[in-house]
Chain A
Amino acid sequence: MIRRLDASLLILLVAFPILWLLPSGLKSYGLYVVSLWLVMSIAAMGLNLTLGYAGLTSLAQGAFLGIGAYATAILTTKAGWPLPAAFLASSALSFAVGVLLGFPALRVKHHYLAFVTLAFTVVVFLVARNEQWLTGGVFGIANIPRPVLFGSDLGAALPFYRLLLCVTLVLALAMWWLLKSPWGRAFLALRENAVRAASLGVDIRAYTLLAFAIGSAYGGAAGSLYAPLVEFIDPAPFALSASFVLLLTVVAGGAGSFFGPFVGAFFSYMLPELLRATGGWYLIIYAAVVLLIVMISPTGLLGLIERWRDHRSQAKAAAARAAAAPTLGAASGETDSLGKGATQ
């Protein structure tokens, strides 16, 4: 677990300069698609903490995306705040709402929690659609400004993409640190066996709320970046199906693995854009692919790779055992069970 996290840090630091340079040849549409992938990866990273590490089923991540997007849109267009301030405020707001929504999670688990968060998502959507004075209703909010930082205008597609990349890196590093810290292990303990965790002195109440709130704050942060990325928001992208797709993103990528959200977001948000050439059928293809992934490997794509790797190392161990068997003679039965224990 810990060794794997260290490897994650290495991959993260190698990927960053590649992603920095890679899209410089892309047209603005291509840049938009890659930017969208980054933004949705952030939202999925948050949900991955809540669902994948702490084991709390949330169908509210789409709503937090919406809360962050609307908060940022309102603060930057109506109140004239700069984006960094609006970003912090949006994340903080989502964190606070996440704590409140976390309270039901203290009482109910599993599918019941999914139902409560589902209700929350629909209510947030209704508020966005109906409270015209605040959210613009179905007409939405237009002309959301892109930021100007330290005197340089980041409005064009490439500089804005690079800003998103930096923010994604910072948030990914923060997540990495969080998972490596005792908190991360407490979240895992919560998922694996809440009662045992409590008996070992983990404050279940506090960690449940924290898992929810931090996951939500990531959702809000993603929303806050989504608003200036698309420059116009209305309630539609934050409907219940958005939360379904985010959940599918995390599960298809691999819930509880560090890069699962990035892989999943590639599938859910970039693949549909790449499949656009197929006309109206791309969403069907996408849904069918995700359905297949979930059916073949409930631990997601990364889980599939892991299973394949385990399988291979087991096969290798078996081969080694077979080679050693004649020399070991009667003791082979013993090594067999030991070998199995070590590879699992």
Chain B
Amino acid sequence: MDQFLQLVVAGLATGAIYALAAIGFTLVWQTSQTINFAQGEFVMLPAILVLVGTHAGLPVWAAFAVASIAFVLLFGFGFKRFLVEPMQRHGVLPLAIATMALSVLVKEAAKNGFSAEAQPFPSLVPDGMLSLWGAALSARDLAIFVVAVVAIVGLQLFITRTRTGRTMQATAQNPTVARILGIPVERMILLTFLINAMLALVASYLVSPVYLAKFSNGESIGLAAFIAAIVGGFNQIRGALAGGFLIGLIDNLTAAYVSSAYRTAVPLVVLVVVILVKPEGLLGRKEERTV
């Protein structure tokens, strides 16, 4: 029972990180039909940028600040303006393929421009054990969970409670009508890309102390976020949220009870089953499809 509780907490912590990446993924899909195959690299890169800063002699806080601003500018604004916008008129697939090329580019740049080895990353939370109902729980896992949930709740409040948030939602649901109603659609789409970059940023700073910062981190995280978004429901934020936690839990429980070698395979099987049985995802809405 002890072990099970630990696994659940660890699973929720991993799941929270997946959820952050999956929500960003879902947001940019909703507003601009962008399937971002580079989402995992988006989570990998900020930590690398911070380390580039500290290696260049910046103090830790300054490195964080510079890395965060540079990342959001480049992969929020720049990604939207210079990759998504020119590609969008060609359709969903060419755009998705361009993001695949971007993922290779970012990964190789991190490998050659920084380091091919895993590097330690400064942890924002001290590592230790907390005792809760007789079970020893990792403080770091709990902290990750709490920070991620705060970020997600904040986003949810922004979307549902503020005017800007609601216009953003309207843009996501129906860009044409939103435009007719006088909503600055382009600015709202840009906003979702900025939010996506910020969510990736938070996920990166949370996950890197645990897994170390490495150029190839994006592969597994991107895949998990991807699965989480689709399993939960491609077109719903709460779907991505639920999907993230579900995949995090499955991931950790599989590693402990079934086979650690095949921990990545079980979420994939879940993915295939969901796509075949309920392609709109567990919590998703059905989308109209051209036949």
Residues of A within 8 A of B (CB): 57, 104, 107-112, 114-116, 118-120, 122-123, 126, 129-130, 194-195, 239-241, 244-245, 247-248, 251, 279-281, 283-284, 287-288, 290-291, 294-295, 298
Contacts and interface: CB of A to CB of B under 8 A. Distances in A.
Interface in B149-175: none
Contacts of B108: 283-284, 287
22 contacts: A104-B272, A107-B276, A108-B276, A115-B226, A116-B272, A116-B275, A118-B226, A119-B227, A123-B268, A126-B265, A239-B219, A241-B219, A244-B37, A247-B97, A251-B97, A281-B112, A287-B105, A287-B108, A290-B101, A291-B98, A294-B101, A298-B87
A240 B93 contact: no
Nearest to B271: A119
The dominant DSSP class at the A interface is: helix
A114 B41 CA distance: 19
B56 to A, nearest CB: 20
A112 B93 contact: no
B35 A111 contact: yes
A291 B87 CA distance: 11
A247 B276 CA distance: 23
Contacts of B104: 241, 244-245, 248, 283, 287, 290
Interface in B97-124: 97-98, 100-105, 107-109, 111-112
A240 B291 contact: no
A115 B37 CA distance: 11
Contact of B105 (A118, A126, A284): A284
Interface in B226-262: 226-227, 230, 261-262
Interface in B213-229: 219, 223, 226-227
Interface in B255-291: 261-262, 264-265, 268-269, 271-272, 275-276, 279, 289, 291
A111 B92 contact: yes
B83 interface: yes
B128 interface: no
A291 B264 CA distance: 29
Nearest to A241: B104
B94 interface: yes
A298 B107 CA distance: 23
Contact of A288 (B97, B105, B272): B105
A115 B83 contact: no
A291 to B, nearest CB: 4
A126 B102 contact: no
Contact of A295 (B87, B230, B265, B269): B87
A295 to B, nearest CB: 6
A130 B262 contact: yes
B96 A111 contact: yes
A236 to B, nearest CB: 11
Contacts of B105: 284, 287-288, 291
Contacts of A245: 104
B86 A295 contact: yes
Nearest to A239: B219
B290 to A, nearest CB: 9
Contacts of B92: 110-111
Contacts of A130: 261-262
A298 B275 contact: no
Contacts of B272: 104, 116, 119-120
Interface in B42-84: 83
A17 to B, nearest CB: 35
B230 A115 contact: yes
B275 A115 contact: yes
A108 to B, nearest CB: 6
A2 B111 CA distance: 46
Can you list the 10 inter-chain pairs with the closest CB atoms, starting with the nearest? A287-B105, A298-B94, A280-B112, A291-B101, A119-B268, A130-B261, A283-B108, A287-B104, A298-B90, A284-B108
A226 to B, nearest CB: 20
Given A122-B264, A194-B291, A195-B291, A112 B275 contact: yes
Contacts of B112: 279-281, 283-284
Nearest to A193: B291
Contacts of B107: 241
